[in-house]
């Protein structure tokens, strides 16, 4: 069958595009048998598969550059072939063939399907390599080329967007250098301190990982990421995602949330090899709010009865230079409800006159064009005795936030030594030094009060530092006159004058030994550590002289050491019987010890001398303040696994693990985690139609768990003093304990681990030669029971909360992926993939007598995120507007809708229903174009930014009612300050008007009064927006609830492979140049003005930040010698 234009290609293309009907093509007759001319060394021939000629196959004389490509009929010609040469024939998806030329008169090549494609090997639990076809559970794998095809990311996880089912990823407002929300199969918990992130294992060593986030504290509010940020993407060979409970059962109490196995690169190339890569990208602020540019800062005349407005409604104040009353910027006002910006000259906050015009791009001008550079160098070699690979990587990231930059140096070494035929040693070392300078923090005030539309941020920046080194805008006279200058300069001062330095040293070390006793029995042992040291030094300058304000300045140094020491060992057995049966097994154990040690020393607002950053520089007679925190836990494990295989078609596997955890009380510190799976490759059992190249069904069951946070089941005491005597004070909670059986003294602790019991069914199929269509489908159901929860109790009990095991969460999930190759020709290949995941999470039961469990991550006094019994996990409820029996909103005497604090209304949930991605790759000759689209539907987002942007009149949505053109009503304000509706926008100014003009921004909100009559109370647009959307306590309006649905163009890359015949002149094996873009656009998003991925942290459900999203474009070069 022709490979350049075949029926199956058109069939796949039609199916992919959803085109009905059928397609066909004529078959070209096969050419005659090959003839060989021994005299001139010329060889001609044909390459075929079971369907006919293969176009585009490579035919070369092995070890030389003498080669050819088969034409449309599969024909090839080779010149200069000598007797004894090896002719090598290869084509993607087929096994490479080698034929020795001995002068044979005819040569006809028949390619066969590459069995290795069906026998793909993946890394599974505890680092065991298994044939993917034999697995009875779901595992996804992402290879190195997919991670770096769109440049080298700061965080390797960001390269996984949309590439595999069951994996949910989300960046935060912190950007690429901050933490990343990672969830496998929508893992959830009823307790904030219970980790729902997957276990991350690098070269067999579990690494420290945690949730991170931002706050509005410039000292500690930056997000510096976690251990996964330190892994050099260029060093990663593959990432396997163990999604189901059975896949992770051998990780026992740590596998409930899934496992991500990261395998780093090793030396593979025979002889010395050098790889060099460099790329550079530009980062632009993107997805900023759509600001209105018609009205400036201040208030509308109709907001209140003002005495100092000009005849045009502009604020007036005395010019200090002339003593005359002149039009000026609105004094002491926030928000953007001021007069229309018409270009007239106004007196500004520095007593200078400037045009009153919109600064349309001032939101983006507060930021800069950032950049990212990456340089990678690797040296490798491989031989009969072993191999090695050593690499160095430098990544430099300049954030769009001014003054924020991140630089890291990574060193990696991988080596293995074949000591003899029985013993093999392997070592992996990864070390990263990261310096994060002035990481962006949550700039809440710019969101809360709005960015004045006439403000030029460059003017604030240039004026900020006085000749004496103080902040000009910290002066009360300036900040009170123009408040926006204070919080804009606060951002610049923090980023450009203060020094917030976070340094992380991260070492991951592993050493393993494989011993082969005979053909059936072997032993493997591995040990290593994950060791992290962080040093966080903060030096905040004083804003003004200490003589004017004594409480200023900050200097602190916080050091944290995280250590994980890990070792595992296993005895393995593998033997085949009667050419049909195979039995393999493993028995072993592991030990893991975690520790944390933190020391925090600081001086806060007690400087004796300005800007001398020393712990001796304090007015406090007791010196600098300090605190210390320590913790450790131990996990001991034994495990076993056995697999029985029949005829390479049926695989039965049983596994189990038993853990002993120091986190749990002695009475409950050991738990058993079993699992079993069965898979049947029916394509090996039956003669299927030729379109089927592979088919498998699978089923699995397992019960895994998680022990809860460290010390969660203990009573904490704090050390203090009273009257000079030391005292111990108990915490404000009670740990899980058995009060019923207590015989005196403190009740017996009885914390148990959370458990997850899951079963899964799935199938995998492949169609047509070269596996042109691959389909993978899985359905699973799990129950997470014995949930660890915290419940509030009356403070009269002596504590605020109690901790206990209670609750059962049920989840159903569907995961589907299809990968196709619609077109394969000599010069052109098209690959297209789609993955989808659908989840439904319900609360089966909670603690006795509890109907709802309040969760976390929300912000706003009238909003709550809950897990209601018999309801969905993470439901968002708010206080709705007051309504009557007819559903009409009740309007207050002031003319505004009222919140009903006695009722709650469900408005959404935090978990998505559907996540997925679309990947495509087009290759034409040496050019390759790749693109990734990812999407999410069904979740709801709490957006405080949109509330405040409306409440401050800052965005285009707030133009409604602001004037006649936007639907405002005409009115005037009488001398009593009452707003009186007029019949026309052209009406004359009434005689009792307080102002010499009428207003056009009137609003009568729809609804009824308390007595049921229609509302007729008129208010100004500013009154309406402030009372509805700018409320105390971050109160949320039910009209401002948004879905976090989106469809994003995540990555696009175009690469060119420089021809090898050109490179060979310079002793270069491979060279590739590429251009790429990341986070390019949203094809669709429901939420305006911000992105669905701008939450305040990896465990937050709220968005409230002025920080923009990022869009990047870059170029790269990779060369191999």
Q: Looking at the structure, do residues 190 and 237 belong to the same domain, yes or no?
A: yes
Q: How far is CA 171 from CA 193, 242, 326, 1047, in A?
A: 20, 21, 49, 15
Q: Looking at the structure, do residues 98 and 175 belong to the same domain, yes or no?
A: no
Answer with the one of 112, 131, 161 that is the final residue of a domain. 112
Name 359's Cβ contacts closer than 8 Å, sequence gap at least 6: 365, 453, 454, 455, 456, 457
Only one residue has tokens 């709005």, namely 450
Q: Looking at the structure, do residues 33 and 95 belong to the same domain, yes or no?
A: yes
pLDDT of residue 32: 37
- Backbone torsions φ then ψ of 139, nearest 5 degrees: -135, 135
Q: How many CB atoms lie under 10 A from the CB of residue 652?
A: 15
Q: Looking at the structure, do residues 335 and 446 belong to the same domain, yes or no?
A: yes
589: its two tokens = 């154990």
Q: How many CB atoms lie under 10 A from the CB of residue 663?
A: 21
pLDDT of residue 893: 93
* Domain-embedded: residue 970: no
* Domain-embedded: residue 134: yes
3-state secondary structure 688-729: CCCCEEEEEEEEEEEEEEECCCCCCCCCCEEEEEECCEEEEE
Q: Looking at the structure, do residues 130 and 200 belong to the same domain, yes or no?
A: yes
Residue pair 770/93 in contact by the 8 Å Cβ criterion: yes
* Domain-embedded: residue 1104: no
pLDDT of residue 35: 41
Residue pair 415/388 in contact by the 8 Å Cβ criterion: yes
Q: What strands, in cross-sheet order, belong to the sheet with 905-909?
A: 852-854, 863-868, 875-878, 905-909
Q: Looking at the structure, do residues 104 and 123 belong to the same domain, yes or no?
A: no
**What is the C-alpha separation between 581 and 646, in angstroms, rounded?**
5
pLDDT of residue 746: 66
Torsion of CA 183, 188, 192, 198, to 10 degrees: -30
Q: Looking at the structure, do residues 132 and 238 belong to the same domain, yes or no?
A: yes
**What is the C-alpha separation between 106 and 99, in angstroms, rounded?**
12
Q: Reduced to 3 DSSP states, what percent helix, strand and coil does the chain have, rounded to the nearest 5?
A: 10, 45, 40
* Domain-embedded: residue 246: yes
407: helix, coil or strand? Answer: strand
* Domain-embedded: residue 992: no
**What is the C-alpha separation between 932 and 1077, in angstroms, rounded?**
11
**What is the C-alpha separation between 700 and 677, in angstroms, rounded?**
4
Strand pairing class (259-264; 199-202): parallel
Name 642's Cβ contacts closer than 8 Å, sequence gap at least 6: 583, 584, 585, 586, 653, 654, 655
Q: In terms of C-beta density within 10 A (0-12 exposed, 13-18 middle, 19 or more buried), how is residue 1096 classed?
A: buried
684: helix, coil or strand? Answer: helix
Q: Looking at the structure, do residues 199 and 132 belong to the same domain, yes or no?
A: yes
**What is the C-alpha separation between 853 and 190, in angstroms, rounded?**
7
Q: Looking at the structure, do residues 159 and 18 belong to the same domain, yes or no?
A: no
* Domain-embedded: residue 1091: no
Strand pairing class (737-738; 748-749): antiparallel
Q: How far is CA 133 from CA 139, 202, 248, 817, in A?
A: 11, 24, 17, 16
DSSP state at residue 294: S
* Domain-embedded: residue 790: no
Q: Which residues of the chain have pLDDT under 70?
A: 1-40, 50-52, 92-93, 105-106, 113-119, 269, 739-746
pLDDT of residue 956: 97
* Domain-embedded: residue 1007: no
Q: Looking at the structure, do residues 28 and 148 belong to the same domain, yes or no?
A: no
**What is the C-alpha separation between 982 and 52, in angstroms, rounded?**
85
Number of independent structural domains in the chain: 3
684: its two tokens = 């090996």
Beta strand ranges found along 622-691 (DSSP E)? 625-646, 650-661, 670-680
Residue 464 parent element (H or E): helix 457-464
Q: Return the CATH number at 152.
A: 2.170.130.10
What are 1040-1050's pLDDT values in tens digits? 889 999 999 99
Strand pairing class (940-943; 1042-1043): antiparallel
925: helix, coil or strand? Answer: coil
pLDDT of residue 322: 95
Structural domain boundaries enclosing 224:
118-265
What are 865-904's pLDDT values in tens digits? 999 999 999 999 999 999 999 999 999 999 999 999 999 9
Only one residue has tokens 């200097």, namely 555
Answer with the one of 50, 84, 112 that is the final residue of a domain. 112
Q: Looking at the structure, do residues 143 and 225 belong to the same domain, yes or no?
A: yes
Q: Looking at the structure, do residues 49 and 176 belong to the same domain, yes or no?
A: no
Answer with the one of 112, 146, 173 that is the final residue of a domain. 112
Residue 7 parent element (H or E): helix 7-17
pLDDT of residue 5: 39
């Amino acid at each position: 069958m022709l490979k350049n234009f075949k029926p199956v290609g058109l069939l796949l293309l039609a199916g992919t595009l959803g085109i009905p009907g059928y397609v066909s093509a004529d078959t070209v007759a096969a050419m005659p048998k090959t003839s060989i001319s021994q005299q001139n060394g010329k060889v001609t021939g044909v390459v075929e598969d079971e369907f006919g000629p293969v176009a585009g196959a490579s035919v070369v004389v092995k070890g030389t550059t003498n080669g050819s490509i088969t034409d449309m009929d599969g024909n090839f010609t080779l010149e200069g072939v000598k007797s004894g040469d090896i002719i090598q024939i290869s084509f993607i998806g087929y096994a490479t063939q080698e034929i020795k030329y001995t002068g044979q008169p005819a040569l006809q090549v028949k390619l066969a399907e590459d069995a290795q494609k069906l026998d793909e090997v993946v890394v599974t639990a505890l680092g065991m390599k298994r044939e993917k076809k034999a697995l009875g559970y779901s595992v996804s794998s992402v290879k190195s080329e997919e991670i770096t095809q769109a440049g080298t990311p700061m965080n390797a996880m960001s390269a996984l967007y949309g590439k595999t089912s069951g994996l949910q990823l989300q960046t935060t407002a912190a950007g690429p250098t901050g933490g990343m929300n990672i969830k496998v199969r929508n893992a959830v918990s009823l307790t904030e301190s219970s980790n729902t992130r997957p276990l991350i294992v690098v070269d067999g060593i579990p690494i420290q990982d945690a949730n991170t986030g931002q706050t509005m504290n410039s000292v500690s509010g930056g997000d510096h990421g976690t251990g996964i940020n330190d892994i050099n993407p260029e060093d990663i060979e593959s990432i396997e995602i163990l999604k189901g409970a059975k896949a992770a059962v051998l990780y026992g109490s740590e596998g409930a949330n899934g496992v991500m196995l990261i395998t780093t690169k090793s030396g593979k190339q025979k002889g010395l090899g050098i790889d060099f890569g460099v790329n550079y990208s530009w980062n632009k602020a993107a997805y900023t709010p759509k600001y209105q540019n018609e009205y400036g800062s201040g208030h509308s005349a109709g907001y209140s009865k003002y005495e100092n407005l000009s005849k045009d409604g502009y604020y007036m104040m005395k010019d200090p230079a002339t003593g005359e009353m002149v039009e000026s910027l609105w004094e002491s006002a926030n928000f953007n409800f001021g007069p229309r910006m018409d270009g007239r000259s106004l007196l500004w906050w520095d007593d200078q006159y400037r045009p009153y015009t919109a600064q349309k791009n001032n939101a983006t001008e507060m930021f800069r064009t950032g950049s990212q550079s990456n340089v990678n160098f690797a040296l490798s070699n491989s031989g009969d005795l072993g191999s090695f690979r050593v690499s160095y990587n430098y990544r430099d990231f300049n954030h769009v936030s001014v003054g924020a930059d991140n630089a890291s140096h990574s060193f990696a070494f991988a080596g293995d030594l074949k000591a003899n035929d029985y013993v093999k040693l392997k070592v992996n070392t990864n070390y990263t030094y990261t310096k994060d300078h002035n990481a962006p923090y949550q700039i809440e005030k710019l969101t809360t009060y709005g960015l004045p539309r006439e403000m030029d941020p460059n003017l604030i920046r240039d004026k900020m530092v006085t000749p004496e080194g103080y902040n000009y805008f910290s002066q009360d006279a300036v900040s009170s006159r123009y408040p926006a200058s204070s919080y804009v300069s606060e951002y610049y001062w923090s980023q450009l004058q203060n020094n917030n330095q976070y340094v992380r040293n991260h070492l991951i070390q592993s050493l393993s030994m494989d011993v082969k006793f005979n053909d059936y029995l072997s032993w493997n042992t591995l040990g290593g550590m994950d060791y992290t040291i962080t040093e966080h030094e903060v030096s905040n300058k004083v804003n003004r002289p200490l003589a004017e304000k004594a409480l200023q300045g900050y200097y602190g140094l916080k050091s944290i050491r995280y250590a994980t020491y890990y070792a595992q060992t296993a005895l393995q057995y593998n033997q085949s019987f009667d050419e049909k049966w195979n039995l393999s097994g493993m028995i072993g154990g592991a030990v893991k010890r975690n520790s944390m040690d933190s020391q925090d020393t600081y001086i806060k607002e007690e400087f004796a001398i300005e800007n001398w950053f020393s712990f001796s520089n304090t007015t406090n007679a007791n010196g600098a303040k300090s605190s210390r925190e320590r913790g450790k836990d131990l996990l001991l494990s034994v495990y076993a696994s056995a697999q029985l295989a029949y005829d390479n078609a049926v695989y039965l596997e049983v596994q189990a693990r038993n853990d002993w955890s120091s986190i749990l009380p002695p009475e409950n510190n050991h738990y058993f985690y079993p699992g079993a799976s069965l898979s049947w490759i029916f394509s090996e059992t039956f003669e299927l139609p030729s379109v089927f190249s592979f088919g498998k069904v699978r089923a699995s069951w397992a019960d895994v768990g998680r022990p809860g946070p460290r010390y969660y089941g203990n009573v904490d005491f704090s050390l203090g003093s009273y009257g000079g005597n030391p005292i111990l004070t108990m915490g404000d909670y009670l740990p899980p304990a058995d009060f019923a059986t207590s015989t005196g003294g403190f009740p017996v602790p009885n914390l148990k681990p959370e458990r997850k019991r899951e079963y899964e069914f799935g199938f995998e199929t492949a169609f047509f030669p070269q596996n042109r269509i691959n389909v993978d489908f899985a359905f699973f159901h799990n129950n997470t029971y014995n949930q660890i929860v915290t419940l509030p109790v009356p403070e009269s009990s002596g504590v605020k909360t109690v901790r206990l095991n209670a609750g059962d969460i049920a989840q159903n999930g569907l995961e589907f992926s299809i990968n196709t190759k619609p077109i394969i020709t000599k010069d052109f290949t098209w690959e297209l993939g789609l993955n989808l995941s659908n989840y439904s999470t319900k609360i089966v039961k909670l603690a006795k007598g509890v109907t709802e469990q309040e969760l976390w991550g929300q912000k706003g006094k009238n909003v709550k995120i809950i897990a209601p019994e018999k309801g969905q996990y993470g439901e968002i409820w708010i206080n709705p507007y007051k309504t009557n029996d007819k559903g009409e909103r009740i309007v207050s005497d002031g003319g505004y809708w009222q919140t009903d604090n006695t009722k709650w209304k469900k408005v959404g949930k935090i978990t998505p229903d559907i996540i997925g991605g679309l990947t495509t790759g087009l290759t034409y000759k040496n050019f390759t174009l790749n693109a990734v689209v990812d999407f999410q539907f069904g979740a709801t987002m709490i957006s405080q930014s949109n509330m405040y942007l409306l409440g401050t009149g800052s965005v285009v949505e707030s133009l409604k009612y602001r004037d006649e053109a936007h639907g405002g009503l005409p009115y005037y304000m009488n001398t009593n300050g009452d707003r009186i509706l007029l019949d026309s926008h052209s009406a004359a100014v009434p005689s009792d008007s307080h102002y010499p003009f009428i207003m056009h921004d009137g609003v009568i909100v729809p609804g009824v009064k308390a007595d049921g009559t229609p509302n007729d109370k008129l208010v100004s647009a500013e009154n309406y927006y402030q009372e509805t959307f700018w409320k105390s306590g971050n109160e949320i309006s039910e009209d401002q609830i948004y879905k976090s649905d989106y469809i994003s163009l995540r990555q696009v890359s175009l690469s060119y492979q420089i021809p090898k015949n050109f490179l060979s002149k310079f002793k270069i094996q491979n060279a590739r140049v590429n251009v790429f873009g990341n986070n390019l656009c949203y094809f669709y998003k429901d939420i305006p003005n911000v992105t669905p991925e701008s939450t305040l942290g990896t465990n937050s459900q709220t968005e409230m930040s002025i920080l923009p999203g990022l869009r990047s474009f870059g170029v790269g070069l990779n060369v191999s010698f």
